[in-house]
Amino acid sequence: MDRSNKPSAIGVGATLPQPTISLRDNTVIATLPTGESVTIYLYGATVTSWKLADGKEQLFLSEKAHLDGSKPIRGGIPVVFPVFGRPPQNHATSSLPQHGFARNSNWEFLGKSSESLAKDQKEGDDAVKLDFGLSRPMLTEEFQKSWPYDFGLVYSVTLMKDGLETSLQVQNKGSQNFEFQVLMHTYFNIEDISQVRVKGLQSKTYIDKTQNAYVHTEASHAIEINKETDRVYQSLDPEVPIVLSSANNDTPIFSIAREGLNDVVVWNPWIEKAQGMADFGPDEAYKNMICVEAGSVAGWQILEAGDSWVGGQTIRPRL
């Protein structure tokens, strides 16, 4: 009998579905065979989108964000380096803009790094790790003048079925030691700020940037955001994840685990500040975002000539 629809044999060389990676218009998009995706602009190596298999966006991106390299991107995960906030006076970073130069420099896509995936047992179709590089010769002349050190950054973004990992390696390629701060300025996409609580910070010391850097101790085990909030929580145990949870039923929405990043900034501009930012929109969107930023920003990391440092975060959403 002729079976025209008989199944064809699976060849010995048949390949499993692999992640797809595209680089177009200075943007890298990676998609797992299971549907999760991540979008990274070379400008700032800024992750601007992270979607789960059901297409749900996990990161907030302002409708008015500049995506043409004219301004740091308002949303996603900008990388802050080598200074957090406004640089202090009489410091090597003094002439740099707020949050340094990493988020407003053009990075290079170094490709997919499968070697470390194998090491982390994330090989196959479960994860893809994308590396981005920035070094001194790639900076604008102005930034080179403003910060005199020879450095290399490798920023790795790993998309997994059940999370997103971002990690930064800082290399001192010069002959002088330098000091730096670093932060992953993650804008989380949330449905309603009044329904979200931030957990894992109770009894920790924080600087309140809305109150002239006044130092407080956190009393709450589940922080509610109901006004402008700009706090730098310090010296946390990176083993304890910060959890965004639902006020309703206490279920986790996101958990943020860190390595080498012992400070966490919690930021929401609230009504007036949101209206005052030309690239923030719509005005009401402050209700749909919260920044929980893993970093090393309370003091300075000192990196000796020839040395390197690594820090990173792993974000797991509710699945």
Binding residues for ligand BG6, per CB under 6 A?
72, 85, 98-99, 185, 209, 230, 265, 267, 293
Task: For residue 103, say whether it is annotated as part of any ligand binding site.
Answer: yes
> Closest separation between CB of residue 209 and ligand BG6, Å?
5
H helices of the chain, in order, are 114-119, 141-146, 270-276
Tokens 């279920």, residue located: 251
Nearer to ligand BG6, 147 or 267 (CB): 267
- Give me the least distance between CB of 305 and ligand BG6, in Å please: 29
Interstrand relation of 163-172 and 46-51 (parallel, antiparallel or unpaired): unpaired
Query: Catalytic: which of 185, 216, 224, 304?
Result: 185
Any idea how long the chain is? 319
Query: In the complex with ligand BG6, which residue's Cβ is closer, 85 or 133?
Result: 85
Tokens standing for residue 129: 């790790």
Please say which residue, 73 or 128, places its beta carbon nearer to ligand BG6: 73
Segment 165-168 long-range contacts (CB within 8 Å, at least 24 positions apart): 165/312, 165/313, 165/314, 165/315, 166/47, 166/77, 166/312, 166/313, 167/259, 167/310, 167/311, 167/312, 167/313, 168/79, 168/81, 168/310, 168/311, 168/312
Catalytic residue from among 57, 142, 293, 304: 293
Answer yes or no: 185 catalytic.
Answer: yes
Determine whether the annotation assigns residue 74 to a binding site. yes
Output the smallest distance, CB 133 to ligand BG6, in A.
23
Burial (CB count <10 Å: 0-12, 13-18, 19+), residue 212: exposed
Phi first, then psi: give them for residue 168, nearest 5 degrees: -125, 130
165 or 263: CB nearest ligand BG6:
263
Judge whether 91 counts as a catalytic residue: no
Q: CA nearest 25: which of 46, 42, 49, 38? A: 42
User: In terms of Cα–Cα distance, which of 85, 82, 75, 83 is closest to 43?
Assistant: 75
Q: Has 24 been labeled as part of a binding site?
A: no
Of 99 and 258, the one with the shorter C-beta distance to ligand BG6 is 99
- Token pair of 14 as six digits: 């048949």
Q: Residue 265 CB, nearest distance to ligand BG6 (Å)?
A: 5
> 172 and 150 in contact (C-beta within 8 Å)?
yes
Smallest distance from the beta carbon of 212 to ligand BG6, in angstroms?
A: 13
What element of type H or E holds 228?
none
The strand ranges marked E within 54-150 are 79-80, 108-112, 127-135
Binding residues for substrate are: 74, 98, 103
List active site positions.
185, 293
